[in-house]
Structure 1
Amino acid sequence: MSTVWLLDLDNTLHDAMPVVFPRINLAMTEYVARTVGLPHEEASELRVHYWRKYGATLLGMVRHHGVDPRDFLRETHPFPDIHRIVRRDHRLVQAVRRLKGRRVIVTNAPMHYAARVVDALGIGRLVDGLVTIESMKFAGRIQPKPSKAMLRRLAARLRVPPHRCVLVEDSVENLDSARAVGMRTVLVTGIGHGHRHPAERPRAGLGRRMDVQVQSFEHLPRKAVRTPHRAR
């Protein structure tokens, strides 16, 4: 049975820090301000609070303010110019192509945004599926990364045991959940974090162990072939 690569999108396959994330954060803050009736600064604090508590601002807005998830996702990811912001990189295309097995994008972003980013990156023909936040739903509730239950269901949906999956991410919290359900893990530390002080970049930290840690996704294929399969 071949490996299934579960590839995060923002800050894993491309750098979302300079333009994409600031625009999403601003759009979310404005949405929170309109919906809850808060000034900009307080709305921004509430947005961050929900993101830290639930893993996605959307969940807090649905749970506490009854917003329509589709409306929230549509209004907070307005990128008609995504092909100008996200550029194709032949090194990324080659790196994705060299991964042996199935390749599935798994992102907490909405489908309309993720599909356009994948197209802009030039990797659409190289991936076997797109799992976005709309499909991370169970019993009427959206359960995005780092939900362990969602990751287990995802492996079942892909008809592969968790230990055959490799989650490639820039989020240590998401990778912790993947390890807990038996998946292998790759931490990407550099993309989207290169402008930060080294102490602020994602690291596994004490008590955490990742199978592979790379500075950028382009370094992964060379290391991945040397990563041993963990016995189960």
Structure 2
Amino acid sequence: MTVPRPRPRRPQRATGAPTSRGPVWLFDLDNTLHAASRAIFPAINAGMTQYIIDALGVSRDQANHLRTSYTQRYGAALLGLTRHHRIDPHDFLKVVHTFPDLPNMVYAERGLARTLRALPGRKIVLTNAPEAYARAVLAELGIERIFERVIAIEHMRTRSRWRAKPDRAMLRETLRRAGASLADAILIEDTHGHLKRYRQLGIQTVWITGHLPARSPSLRLSGRGRPHYVDHRIRSLKSLQTGLQSGRLRHTG
């Protein structure tokens, strides 16, 4: 199986000091830019469980427990697997994120590209998924060229270990390399645990809930309101522009 060939990459901005003032939008990918829970997440979860069964020789119940517990503890199942087991991380990422039928598995808001282009400032994808998968999804959505860079889990590594959201040191380094400041960053995420941890760094946070399953525990927890670490809660990305206009989100440009 092969991942659909992504479009050619756009040149990346040089690292160093911030290149400009103004919002730097950090978009999560799954359940933020598209509705991953409809088809892709079930397939990824099944693929991870089967990979763990095959690699570690454990039962399906044990494999599911490892997958979910490592995700909760480390932010990504991969991190737990590489720290506690002999797992080839690159093979794991490739196997569980490869979908021959990807075009029929991607669902997104109508007018997504137009909505994103209308936002002022720079736009970056920040995802715990692998780069090949992320770029394939963005290409299917027709929005890859809107983002100046895609920061995937392979780019979050340090010399000694793999990292993932919500690691704080990783985010600081990510923004430094992008020439962006914490004060200018706006994180759009469906995972409230990531928003909570990163809000403590002083960045602005937007919780998008429109792609979450109706029975999501996080939705039941917060009801119709928003947690204290969320600056703006939205169902649709179209509401980001409203957040800027209303002052719920700071626009420093």
TM-score (norm 2): 0.84
Unaligned runs of 5+ in 2: 1-20
Q: 1:93 to 1:203 in 2, by over 3 A?
A: farther
Post-superposition offset of 1:208: 2.5
- 2:82–2:88 Cα contact (<8 Å) kept: yes
Post-superposition offset of 1:185: 0.7
Unaligned runs of 5+ in 1: none
Post-superposition offset of 1:177: 2.1
Aligned ranges for residues 26-105 of structure 1 at < 5 Å?
26-87=46-107, 89-105=109-125
* Separation in 2, partners of 1:211, 1:123: 26
Q: State the one-letter code of the partner of 2:57.
A: G
Pick one of 213, 221, 224 that aligns with 2:233.
213
Q: 1:101 to 1:112 in 2, by over 3 A?
A: same
* Separation in 2, partners of 1:140, 1:126: 32
Q: 1:15 to 1:34 in 2, by over 3 A?
A: same
Confirm whether residue 154 of structure 1 aligns to residue 188 of structure 2. Answer: no
* Separation in 1, partners of 2:171, 2:229: 18
Which segment drifts farther, 79-88 or 184-193? 79-88
Q: 1:206 to 1:216 in 2, by over 3 A?
A: closer
* Separation in 1, partners of 2:46, 2:181: 39
Superimposed CA distance per residue, residues 89-148 of structure 1 (whole angstroms, 9 cap, x where no aligned partner): 542112111110110011000011100100111111211110000000113211100111
Q: 1:130 to 1:46 in 2, by over 3 A?
A: same
Superimposed CA distance per residue, residues 20-50 of structure 1 (whole angstroms, 9 cap, x where no aligned partner): 0010000000011111111212211111111
Confirm whether residue 181 of structure 1 aligns to residue 219 of structure 2. Answer: no
Q: State the one-letter code of the partner of 2:25.
A: W
* Separation in 2, partners of 1:142, 1:44: 21
- 2:47–2:96 Cα contact (<8 Å) kept: yes
- 1:61–1:67 Cα contact (<8 Å) kept: yes
* Separation in 2, partners of 1:180, 1:52: 19
Which segment drifts farther, 136-145 or 206-215? 206-215
* Separation in 1, partners of 2:129, 2:166: 13
Post-superposition offset of 1:6: 0.3
Higher relative contact order (CA 8 A, sep 6+): 2
TM-score (norm 1): 0.91
Determine the structure 2 residue equivalent to 1:167.
187
* Separation in 2, partners of 1:71, 1:60: 15
* Separation in 2, partners of 1:202, 1:122: 34
SS of 1:138 mapped into structure 2: coil
Post-superposition offset of 1:200: 3.7
Determine the structure 2 residue equivalent to 1:225.
245
- 2:24–2:122 Cα contact (<8 Å) kept: yes
Pick one of 180, 196, 204 that aligns with 2:215.
196
Aligned length in residues = 230
Q: 1:32 to 1:122 in 2, by over 3 A?
A: same
SS of 1:221 mapped into structure 2: helix
